[in-house]
């Protein structure tokens, strides 16, 4: 079942659902709008093979930074994060959707599920459309649809991305030496 605005507000009020910061326009009819954070990582166009079993050095594949604005170029892949820290209870999961205004600009995000029990800022992949689009932190960018599980998860999310802040790169990368 998709949660309504009234149910979302109740969960936030009870402390079972965390959305921090929460603004007046965050809770919507059937989900929450989340804003862009200030950090992004641009995937570099390189021919160096990244072996998922061997890992690699993040700087070989990503260029990351904090910015007042940035441009998503045509067909480019960017990792962004939400300004909000989200904490889901063990009986609620989230489905991430791009707000329609940005989809109408040709931007795209792959299907993303936020597992029951997850806590942290969301890292989202964005793919550019046919022309460059400038984005700004604090812009309402994604819509998180919250769905209730038929019962609480027996093993809520406690994975490697729990508690993440900013853009979190895939955990297959080695630390810089």
CB 37 within 8 A of CB 121: yes
Q: Hey, what are 45's tokens?
A: 């166009």
CB 7 within 8 A of CB 28: no
Phi, psi torsion values for 170, nearest 5 degrees: -55, 140
Determine whether 46 is exposed, middle or buried from the number of CB atoms within 10 Å of its CB (0-12, 13-18, 19+): exposed
Cα dihedral 58, 52, 170, 2 in deg (nearest 10):
160
125 is catalytic: yes
Annotated catalytic residue, options 76, 125, 139, 175: 125
Q: Hey, what are 129's tokens?
A: 């459309």
Catalytically active residues are 125
């Amino acid at each position: 079942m998709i949660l309504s605005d009234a149910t979302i507000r109740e969960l936030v009020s009870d402390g079972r659902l965390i959305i921090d910061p929460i603004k007046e326009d965050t809770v919507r009819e059937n989900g929450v709008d989340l804003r862009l954070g200030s950090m992004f990582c641009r995937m570099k166009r390189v021919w160096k093979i990244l072996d998922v079993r061997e890992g690699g050095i993040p700087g070989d594949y990503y260029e990351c930074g904090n910015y007042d604005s940035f441009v998503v170029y045509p067909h480019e892949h960017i990792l962004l994060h939400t300004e909000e820290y989200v904490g889901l209870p063990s009986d609620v999961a989230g489905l991430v959707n791009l707000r329609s205004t940005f989809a109408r600009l040709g931007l795209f995000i792959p299907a993303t599920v936020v597992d029951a029990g997850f806590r942290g800022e969301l890292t989202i992949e964005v793919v550019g459309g046919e022309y460059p689009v400038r984005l700004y932190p604090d812009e309402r960018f994604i819509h998180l649809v919250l769905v209730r599980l038929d019962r609480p998860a027996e093993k809520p999310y406690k994975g490697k991305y729990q508690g993440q802040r900013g853009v979190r790169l895939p955990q297959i990368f080695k630390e810089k030496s």
